[in-house]
């Protein structure tokens, strides 16, 4: 691709820090022009489970149905609109497993599981940020674990983060059918048979296969956030005179399996923050190196029901793009493939104008950035 240095992108290279986004359902008024193809017409190299485990392996329908007291459908975790981010696909890029078993009422009862191989170092970061992690004989599961259950009155939840050998497992359960007065301990006991089965399945899995490597044609992404937008360019776009803080930000002290995988996969994260607004990020960009395969999978899910739409206009330096505006947050997002990488551009709509205005702004940022990538 023009203006890009072509390199071999290895999934464990280029560790950066920062914050991530989570788009939900979107609407768009992207225009009536005939759209271009959102997904590659030829198969793109994609990672697979390094352990050989499938969603049916880690989420057996019988145990899941018992925990939720309902019939369930097991799918890839990425069917959820909030998973349409480079961050969410990092576990799969590293050869992990991301699965969802949904009950009859989507979003109200489900079990999700993520399995991240070779994550010992990242688990240490997690334990450093979470004093409640139990290890050794004190752990409920595996070598170390943290189980957190809540009775919210109308629904019950349990989450478990577990280290088994070198593998990090995250289990989330929502919508268990129990007595309204059930204690946290009762919730944990109810979920225990399923969690135990998941842990045993992962522990008994074959030795990990090799780590997936992106195609050699994959281009290098910039490490300097100002390649995407300088402070002056942000001030012009958002009509402000404030000082702008630019860099890779993070979710405070929080650290989970998605953050761990994103770090290992070399995920890029950039935010532009007016100095006096604290945690408000009017513009943020995230990227998954070598994530073209993930973009294609996400785009096929997001465009099938108009959650997002293919960008009809040609975008210089961008192979494919989809766009949509998040209903609950007021943000609009343009997802792009740039030299084999998934780069996601997001901006706050209220500060810019219509959805078309935001799309035009993000297209301009993308085109300007690609022209600078080789500099």
Instruction: Work out the percent of the chain whose per-residue pLDDT is above 90.
Output: 66
Instruction: Work out the percent of the chain whose per-residue pLDDT is above 70.
Output: 85
Is the per-residue pLDDT at 8 higher than 70?
no
Is the per-residue pLDDT at 104 higher than 90?
no
CA distance to 43, 115, 121, per residue, from 127 (Å): 39, 17, 10
pLDDT tens per residue across span 297-308? 999 988 887 878
Q: What is the mean pLDDT of the chain?
A: 85
Sequence-separated contacts (24+) of 200-204 with Cβ below 8 Å: 201/53, 201/57, 201/58, 202/51, 202/53, 202/58, 202/115, 202/164, 202/167, 202/169, 203/142, 203/164, 203/165
**41 exposed, middle or buried (CB, 10 Å; 0-12, 13-18, 19+)?**
exposed
Which pLDDT score, from 0 to 100, does residue 25 have? Answer: 27
Which of 374, 12, 90, 126 lies closest to 227, judged by CA?
A: 374
Is the per-residue pLDDT at 19 higher than 80?
no
Confidence class for position 38, pLDDT limits 50, 70, 90? low
Which pLDDT score, from 0 to 100, does residue 26 have? Answer: 28
Mean pLDDT within 237-245: 91
Which pLDDT score, from 0 to 100, does residue 34 have? Answer: 38
Which pLDDT score, from 0 to 100, does residue 281 have? Answer: 83
pLDDT tens per residue across span 316-329? 999 999 999 987 67
The SS3 assignment for 203 reads helix
Mean pLDDT within 145-151: 95
Instruction: List, in sequence order, every beta strand (DSSP E) within the chain.
Output: 26-27, 73-76, 97-102, 110-116, 134-135, 144-151, 156-164, 167-174, 244-247, 268-274, 283-288, 309-310, 320-326, 331-338, 341-348
Where do the domains of the chain lie?
A: 26-43+215-372, 55-203
Mean pLDDT within 205-231: 94
Can you name the residues that pair with 334 across neighbouring β-strands? 323, 345
Which pLDDT score, from 0 to 100, does residue 155 have? Answer: 78
Which of 35, 102, 103, 11 lies closest to 310, judged by CA?
A: 35
Confidence class for position 216, pLDDT limits 50, 70, 90? very high
Can you name the residues that pair with 342 across neighbouring β-strands? 288, 337
pLDDT tens per residue across span 161-188? 999 999 999 999 998 888 888 899 999 9
Which pLDDT score, from 0 to 100, does residue 97 have? Answer: 96
Confidence class for position 79, pLDDT limits 50, 70, 90? confident
Q: Which CATH number fits domain 26-43+215-372: 3.40.1000, 3.30.70, 1.10.10, 2.60.40?
A: 3.40.1000
**305 exposed, middle or buried (CB, 10 Å; 0-12, 13-18, 19+)?**
exposed
Which pLDDT score, from 0 to 100, does residue 178 have? Answer: 85
Mean pLDDT within 104-121: 88
Lowest mean pLDDT among 16-20, 44-48, 101-105, 127-131: 16-20
Is the per-residue pLDDT at 16 higher than 90?
no
pTM (2 d.p.)? 0.85
Name, in order, each residue with C-beta under 8 angstroms of 20's C-beta and a sequence gap of 6 or more: 85, 86, 87, 251, 258, 259, 262, 269, 286
Task: Count the neighbouring beta carbons within 10 Å of the beta carbon of residue 290.
Answer: 29
């Amino acid at each position: 691709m023009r203006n890009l240095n072509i390199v071999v992108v290895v999934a464990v290279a280029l560790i950066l820090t920062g914050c991530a986004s989570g788009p939900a359902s979107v609407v768009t008024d992207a225009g009536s022009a005939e759209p271009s193809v959102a997904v590659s017409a030829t198969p793109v190299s994609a990672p697979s489970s390094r352990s050989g485990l499938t969603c049916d392996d880690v989420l057996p329908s019988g145990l899941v149905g018992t925990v939720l007291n309902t019939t369930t459908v097991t799918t890839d975790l990425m069917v959820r609109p909030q998973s349409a981010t480079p961050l969410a696909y990092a576990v799969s890029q590293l050869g992990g497993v991301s699965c969802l078993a949904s009950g009859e009422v989507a979003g109200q009862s489900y079990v999700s599981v993520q399995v991240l191989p070779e994550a010992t170092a990242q688990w240490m970061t997690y334990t450093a940020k979470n004093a409640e992690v139990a290890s050794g004989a004190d752990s409920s599961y595996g070598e170390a674990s943290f189980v957190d259950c809540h009775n919210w009155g109308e629904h019950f939840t349990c989450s478990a983060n577990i280290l088994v050998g070198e593998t990090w497992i995250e289990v989330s359960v929502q919508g268990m059918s129990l007595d309204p007065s059930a204690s946290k301990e009762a919730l944990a006991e109810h979920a225990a048979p399923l969690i135990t089965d998941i842990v045993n399945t992962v522990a008994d899995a074959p030795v990990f296969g090799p780590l997936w490597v992106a195609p050699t044609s994959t281009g290098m992404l910039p490490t300097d956030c100002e390649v995407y937008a300088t402070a002056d360019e942000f001030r012009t776009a958002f009509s402000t005179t404030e000082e702008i803080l630019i860099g890779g930000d993070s979710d405070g002290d929080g650290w989970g399996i998605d953050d761990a995988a994103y770090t290992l996969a070399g995920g890029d994260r950039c935010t532009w923050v007016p100095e006096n607004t604290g945690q408000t990020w009017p513009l943020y960009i995230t990227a998954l190196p070598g994530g073209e395969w993930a973009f294609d999978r996400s785009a096929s899910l997001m465009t099938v029901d108009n959650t997002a739409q293919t960008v009809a206009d040609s975008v210089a330096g961008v192979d494919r793009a989809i766009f949509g505006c998040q209903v609950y947050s007021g943000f609009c997002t343009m997802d792009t493939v740039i030299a084999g990488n998934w780069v996601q551009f997001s901006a706050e709509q209220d500060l810019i104008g219509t959805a078309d205005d935001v799309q035009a702004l993000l297209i301009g940022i993308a085109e300007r950035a690609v022209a600078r990538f080789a500099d």
